[in-house]
Amino acid sequence: MPEVAVGDYVLVHVGFALSKLDEAEARRVLEILEELGQLGELEASQP
């Protein structure tokens, strides 16, 4: 993977880097969940 630089996170499988981790995408799901949590709606309805 020519576009990879020191400090990047990559997915390694059997000794090969198959993909560079997209840090913006990585944060996306976590941020969406944070927003859900802040609404408090889901936590309040937990059994």
- Per CB under 8 A, residues contacting another protein are 1, 9, 11, 13-16, 18-19, 21-23, 25-26, 28-30, 33, 36-37, 42-43, 45-46
The alpha carbon of 36 is separated from its chain's Cα centroid by a whole number of angstroms, namely 16
CB of 11 to another protein, least distance (A): 5
Give the C-alpha separation, 43 to 46, whole Å.
5
Tell the smallest beta-carbon distance from residue 40 to another protein (Å).
10
Q: Least CB distance from residue 5 to another protein, whole Å?
A: 16
Collect all residues with Cβ–Cβ distance below 8 Å to 17 and sequence separation of at least 6: 1, 4, 10, 11
